[in-house]
Structure 1
Amino acid sequence: MTRPDWIAVDWGTSHLRAYAMGPEGILAEVTSDDGMGSLAREAYEPALLRLVEGWLEDGRRTPVIACGMVGSRQGWMEAPYRAVPCAPMDPAALVAVPTRDGRLDVRLVPGLKQAKPADVMRGEETQIAGALTLWPQFDGVLCLPGTHSKWVRVSAGEVVGFQTFMTGELFALLSESSVLRHAMTGGGWDPAAFAEAVSDALSRPERIAARLFTIRAESLIAGLGGDAARARLSGLLIGIELAASRPYWLGQEVALIGADPLTSAYAEALAMQGVPARHLAGSAAVVAGLAAAAGKVPA
């Protein structure tokens, strides 16, 4: 393989993904399970080298631009948050990391912070920068579903404000660790149960705790199947998120950034409210955002 001009790295809590980048875009991609959650500080450089050693060249420092939890307080080195309102990406704010291997020139992307209400993001700012690189005229709201979903107001190329919802984490806790886990059999999906739950949660969000327990009760006495139970839990949680984030999406242009099937579920829930949403794959957004940080124009 031709040696890359630079290396893009998406380094999260549970994964590490690196892209060899050339003038035309991605030359190669490699992944590992060496996420921030499993690494001591001195283990970051060896973990990166295990993936990209074959892309490096003696006598040349290869630029490496990394985003995500690698720049957290528990990561390789802290990349301090930048305060909104601001552009999602500022190449001048990248944080250089000292390395033992002279072939590496590593720089970390800072996250974003908001004072009131208090909120932070780390990694999503790169996806936002990527979306604005690919959609330079976008002015509206970006939704990034995930473990901690983000709703982000964007105007004139800047992040104006944002709000985080723990929807994905709540789904994992309730489906795996609560009494509802007994109803989560199988791995299918019931679209009708999802749609009904979204509507139910949006119309009466204050009843969420009671509506959640009906999943358990109906699985015991009314034959509620595992597919319907899983879809209902997802619909109830996404529904209360939409109820709380209504000031973001109501009357706005909305775009979803992330991977299927989660973004499809959000798109369906929004469509039920008469809100169409365009979609951008999370991986494409990350690479475009890291290219912006590196001062490159993505292919």
Structure 2
Amino acid sequence: MTRWLAVGPEADMVRACLMDGDILLEQSLFRDEEAALAAYPDHAEKAVRVGAGAPHATPTAILPNLVAQVPAVTQETPPDLLGGWARLRVAGVAASRPHWEGVVLDAGSESNHWVHVSADEIVSFQGAATPRLIAALDGAPVADDEAADSTLSRPERLSAHLHGALLAGDARAVTGHLLGAEIAAAKPYWLGQEVIVLSQTDTLAALLRGQGADAVTAAPDDMLARGLAARAAGG
């Protein structure tokens, strides 16, 4: 097989993935692109740039018909941007479920994106800054279910709920209230849909199941590997 490299920014780092055909050999995070390319000098010249090029507007094919780039996806209403690595993770979900229609919740370190997939296209998506808010307010990795349910039922009370949780020093409640508000706002996306949550934990999927949603968790790295494999097959 032919080895190739995918490299591009994600959050405040640069991710590099070394592939052997459609097999992910290794991935690493670097401070910048120069350091990433220096780590793989044999593959730097022809590296696939993830997130490079003009963004594709929705609706658009999940994977672009491009050899050297995986551009981000943009949306006019509401204004939003889905990064190239997130696009590859969505492609991994689609590759593992041919002709699937549903919603992929890509739970990132800075933003969450609810991505509606249909007919092998990214139809629309909605982003949320919840991970940043959790970090800024010193929330916990695990949410308090009662706090989440409380804000899900009364999202207009979010600020008051957070005030109480912060006074009590309840980090799990902080996370619960913030996730509850996000799930309430994203209801048009998940209601009546199968939701695949790309996350290291089952927290979001469990909260969605508590609302009667059909939600399961999948490992982000596994879906990224599948997405890169799909890109190799198509490229």
Q: TM-score interval w.r.t. the shorter chain?
A: 0.7 to 0.9
Distance 1:291 1:168 in 2: 28
2:116 to 130, 153, 157: 153
**2:229 corresponds to which letter in structure 1?**
A
1:285 to 223, 227, 234: 223
Contact 1:91 1:295 in 2 (8 A): no
Offset from partner CA, 1:32-90 (integer Å, 9 cap, x none): 4314xxxxxxxx3x32332113xx28xxx87422324xx3xxxxxxx111011111211
**Which stretch shifts more, 18-27 or 118-127?**
18-27
Cα distance change on mapping 1:235 and 1:108 into 2, 3 Å: same
Give the number of equivalent residue pairs. Answer: 233
TM superposition score normalised by structure 2:
0.88
Residues 41-56 of structure 1: pairs in structure 2 closer than 5 A: 44=33, 46-53=34-41, 56=42
2:5 paired with 1:7? yes
**1:12 corresponds to which letter in structure 2?**
E
SS in 1 for 2:40: helix
2:30 paired with 1:33? yes
1:195 to 145, 150, 169: 145
Report the counterpart of residue 14 of structure 2 in structure 1.
Answer: 16
Report the counterpart of residue 99 of structure 2 in structure 1.
Answer: 137
2:217 paired with 1:255? no
Residues 1-299 of structure 1: pairs in structure 2 closer than 5 A: 4-9=2-7, 11-23=9-21, 25-27=23-25, 29-35=26-32, 44=33, 46-53=34-41, 56=42, 63-68=46-51, 71=52, 79-92=53-66, 107-123=68-84, 124-146=86-108, 147-175=110-138, 194-219=144-169, 229-258=170-199, 260-261=200-201, 264-295=202-233
Q: CA deviation at 1:188?
A: 7.7
Contact 1:8 1:291 in 2 (8 A): no
Q: Unaligned regions of 5+ residues in structure 2, if any? A: none
Q: CA deviation at 1:110?
A: 0.7
Q: Percent identity, aligned pairs only?
A: 32
Distance 2:158 2:192 in 1: 25
Contact 1:30 1:51 in 2 (8 A): no
Contact 1:88 1:158 in 2 (8 A): yes
**2:155 corresponds to which letter in structure 1?**
P
Q: CA deviation at 1:159?
A: 0.9
Greater radius of gyration (CA): 1
Q: Unaligned regions of 5+ residues in structure 1, if any? A: 36-43, 72-78, 95-106, 176-183, 220-228
Contact 2:16 2:27 in 1 (8 A): yes
Contact 1:15 1:31 in 2 (8 A): no
Distance 1:233 1:4 in 2: 48
How large is the Cα RMSD of the aligned pairs?
2.4
Distance 1:127 1:32 in 2: 17
Runs of 4+ in 1 over 6 A off after TM superposition: none
SS in 1 for 2:47: strand
